[in-house]
């Protein structure tokens, strides 16, 4: 009985920690009038949700999705062949290549992106969508390359070896055998990169401001202006694709892939 009570209490605490902030966001998003010292809004309504249908909100949403799709496509184009090479082809410096893709995450993001911003201004890329795509790729390739390397290492090499023994080239073996088998891993990598780009804030603010505004930057601007209702609506909208895609990620990210994460 004591054990059951302890488990129920632990679940209640976990639910409060997880759902408490979400409940606060939901209340703020519906609060049309909330003045101190009232502990509860004086008037509820959908006024701020209706503002989602305006260009002021839809343009950052559209731009953020477009940037995330471009970053996802570019990251996969680079990471799939590189991940296969790192998993299957022995070459000098392989471990250093993998470690190099961890460097952007090895240090705090603010100094990394601030240093990159200086170079982007020098090359005329600051304040452009191209610049934001490139700065997103810095972090996105960490997820894409390590995921794809783990995916290809998880595949049994016997089919590829049989193709090589029958005279197939490395390229043909990759296209006709390895890549189809790795499709679930490619989808999982795409989901990770898309979510990273959609939610990326620091690099977007430093490189894209004031001309490129995505939803995280829009939410930050709203909160700085004490428009807490708009910031709450934006946060809830950002959470929706994340929740849906994370459910998809659970389906495609197989346990055998995780075994090879972090292995050089």
- Give the CATH number for residue 74: 1.10.3720.10
DSSP H or E run through 262: none
Q: Are residues 39 and 112 in the same domain?
A: no
Of the candidates 87, 211, 69, 218, which has an alpha carbon nearest to the alpha carbon of residue 140?
A: 69
Q: Is residue 74 part of a domain?
A: yes
Structural domain range at position 169? 55-259
Q: 43-44 and 31-33: which strand pairing?
A: antiparallel
Q: Is residue 50 part of a domain?
A: no
Cβ neighbours around 208 below 10 Å, total: 26
Position 73 scores a pLDDT of 95
Q: Are residues 25 and 84 in the same domain?
A: no
Instruction: Say if residue 257's pLDDT is above 60.
Output: no
Q: Is residue 264 part of a domain?
A: no
Helix and strand numbers (H, E) in the chain are 15, 2
Q: Are residues 182 and 221 in the same domain?
A: yes
Rounded CA separation 206/126 (Å):
8
Rounded CA separation 8/14 (Å):
10
Whether pTM > 0.85 for this model: the answer is no
Q: Are residues 32 and 144 in the same domain?
A: no
Nearest 5°: the CA angle 146, 149, 151 is 105
Rounded CA separation 87/231 (Å):
43
Q: Is residue 82 part of a domain?
A: yes
DSSP code of 125? -
Most confident of 21-25, 249-253, 259-263: 21-25
Instruction: Say if residue 168's pLDDT is above 80.
Output: no
Tokens read off for 15: 């639910």
Of all residues in the chain, the percent with pLDDT exceeding 70 is 89
Position 259 scores a pLDDT of 45
Q: Is residue 225 part of a domain?
A: yes
Q: Is residue 34 part of a domain?
A: yes
Q: Is residue 24 part of a domain?
A: yes
Q: Are residues 34 and 62 in the same domain?
A: no
Phi then psi for residue 31, to 5 deg, are -85, 105
Q: Are residues 134 and 195 in the same domain?
A: yes
Q: Are residues 72 and 173 in the same domain?
A: yes
How many domains does the chain fold into?
A: 2
Q: Are residues 73 and 192 in the same domain?
A: yes
- Of 20-29, 96-105, 247-256, give the lowest mean pLDDT range: 247-256
Instruction: Say if residue 232's pLDDT is above 90.
Output: no
Of the candidates 236, 234, 196, which has an alpha carbon nearest to the alpha carbon of residue 215?
A: 234
Q: Are residues 26 and 99 in the same domain?
A: no
**What is the band of 252 on the pLDDT scale with cuts at 50, 70, 90?**
low
Q: Are residues 79 and 162 in the same domain?
A: yes
Q: Are residues 36 and 91 in the same domain?
A: no
Asked whether 146 and 261 are in contact (CB, 8 A), the reply is yes
Q: Quick one: average pLDDT of 177-194?
A: 86
Q: Is residue 99 part of a domain?
A: yes
Asked whether 82 and 145 are in contact (CB, 8 A), the reply is yes
Q: Are residues 28 and 121 in the same domain?
A: no
């Amino acid at each position: 009985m004591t054990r059951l009570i302890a488990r129920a209490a632990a679940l209640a605490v976990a639910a409060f920690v997880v759902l408490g902030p979400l409940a606060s966001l939901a209340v703020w998003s519906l609060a049309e009038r909330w003045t101190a010292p009232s502990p509860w809004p004086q008037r509820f309504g959908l006024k701020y949700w209706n503002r989602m249908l305006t260009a002021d909100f839809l343009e950052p949403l559209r731009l953020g999705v477009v940037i995330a799709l471009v970053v996802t496509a570019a990251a996969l184009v680079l990471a799939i062949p590189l991940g296969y090479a790192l998993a299957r082809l022995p070459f000098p410096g392989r471990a250093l290549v993998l470690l190099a893709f961890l460097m952007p995450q090895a240090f705090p993001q603010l100094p990394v992106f601030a240093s990159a911003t200086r170079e982007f201004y020098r090359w005329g890329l600051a304040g452009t969508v191209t610049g934001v795509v490139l700065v997103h790729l810095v972090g996105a390739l960490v997820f894409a390359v390590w995921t794809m390397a783990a995916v290809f290492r998880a595949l049994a090499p016997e089919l590829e070896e049989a193709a090589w023994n029958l005279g197939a080239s490395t390229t043909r073996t990759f296209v006709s055998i390895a890549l189809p088998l790795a499709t679930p891993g490619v989808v999982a990598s795409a989901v990770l990169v898309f979510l990273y780009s959609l939610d990326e804030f620091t690099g977007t603010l430093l490189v894209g401001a004031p001309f490129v505004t995505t939803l995280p930057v829009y939410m930050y601007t709203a909160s700085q202006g004490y428009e807490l209702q708009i910031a709450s609506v934006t946060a809830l909208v950002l959470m929706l694709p994340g929740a849906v895609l994370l459910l998809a990620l659970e389906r495609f990210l197989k346990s055998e892939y995780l075994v090879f994460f972090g292995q050089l």
